[in-house]
Chain A
């Protein structure tokens, strides 16, 4: 564990100095600001653009639910993509540059590399999403002081838990080879697979993807978090399995 901690500290330092941390901070803070702002401004913009009365009637009313809908949409699209780009080359970059050779020949267990990188990815996801959430929450409370989103934490927890799996998928994918696209492609593949599974209604309760897509149902109280317990358990187990698989892959890899 001490070696994993050591490598994790190194990861944090280089993550900060390479400005990847700054990118995450800026992007997610911007998403946090934009979500309620877009919910507030969209109807106004449409009105100004001369939308017909019929079209205006179709536009959802600007309220806290619209703000949180925008937040989860941004998180599951732009947020997910930026996160995948930042962490999709985490291991493959090291394999390509040969930076692990010195450390591994000095006795650093390859396991520590994966654990350090998964830990950083998870903490970054938790931190970034929470930061965006807090900003969004403050603006939403200011713009839309209503009671239409009573279960904010349930929606957030689901999104945070999904990030565990996302982190493990990206690190596993990037450990497969030196190709910088490997992590990203594995992420896209996993997303597509889960999306196909989600087409089957009976699978949805068990599908980790529902933790990313059903946040508004949870936020508005349409469903409780306990309904998604199977998906949460599967997500956590899959995260552990993928982390273990990434360790095995790296242990057999030529450096």
Chain B
């Protein structure tokens, strides 16, 4: 099957600054791919290269098997793009702007009304200049989805949204699962954990790790049991019983391997035998933060 996105040995530098040093990246059709990295890691540069807005110094980029070329690349017909700060013509209404986009992509103007409804801008007749940041982001997703692209590229789409706006946006993206391939570039790892099934971690100009999110968690992060006690003295006693280093707080974190149930049973039995009762007992799942920190270490 042809990859939705295939980058091989892509390098890019600005002046003396090497942003990408031979980036290899593959995104298969249908994936929601979280492209993560620190600020300045080169995520936006990679997105811009895929869109033909930058010229690579070396390497090849393909979208659904077609090569990307600088300038007016035909592969953009397959892509919907949502930049981090989408810029529009303030003197147009959302509907007029989408009509313009539809005419460029030879899209069906009949798609505009449902799209505006989907992003919650159906009844808004105002000019875009009067839109809030969140409304502009919603219009951004509408324009990106216009023309039914096969690949949706979102570059830091939630970085400036309030919690409610972010929640709505992620729900919208999640709802697109299965209908197209999505590349979500961000440094907000909780967003990636919430909707992405595959992850690539960019660091030092190369993709340090790539794969299904669950596999990466299994490989790099460790699950744990978190216990809290009433006093520090109780915590110290429990630490001694469970053979873990004591802390100066009332919380203990016990990493475990394998299944949760036998590990939890073992901890509870040890504590019950010594008559120490925790106030809370909780399973702590491995997080993408842990994976990320391990990978870039």
Contact = CB atoms under 8 A, between A and B. Distances in A.
Nearest to B146: A106
Interface residues of A, number: 23
A9 to B, nearest CB: 9
B92 A97 contact: no
Contacts of A105: 51-53, 76, 79, 81
Contact of A14 (B77, B83, B92, B101): B92
Given A13-B96, A14-B92, A101-B87, A107 B127 contact: no
Interface in A86-114: 97-99, 101-110
B260 to A, nearest CB: 46
B53 A255 contact: yes
B104 A3 contact: yes
B54 interface: yes
Given A17-B91, A251-B71, A254-B54, A103 B76 contact: no
A14 B101 CA distance: 15
Nearest to A101: B83
Contacts of A18: 91
A98 B83 contact: yes
Give the interface size bracket for B toward A. Answer: 20 to 34
The dominant DSSP class at the A interface is helix
A6 interface: yes
A20 B259 CA distance: 69
Nearest to A103: B104
A3 B101 CA distance: 11
Contact of A106 (B71, B96, B147): B147
B188 to A, nearest CB: 22
A107 B76 contact: yes
B72 A106 contact: no
B282 interface: no
A47 interface: no
A13 B92 contact: yes
A97 B85 CA distance: 10
A175 to B, nearest CB: 15
A16 to B, nearest CB: 8
A156 B169 CA distance: 57
A147 interface: no
B92 A254 contact: no
Interface of B: 51-54, 71-72, 76-77, 79, 81, 83, 85-89, 91-92, 96, 100-101, 103-105, 127, 140, 143, 147
Interface of A: 3, 6, 10, 13-14, 17-18, 97-99, 101-110, 251, 254-255
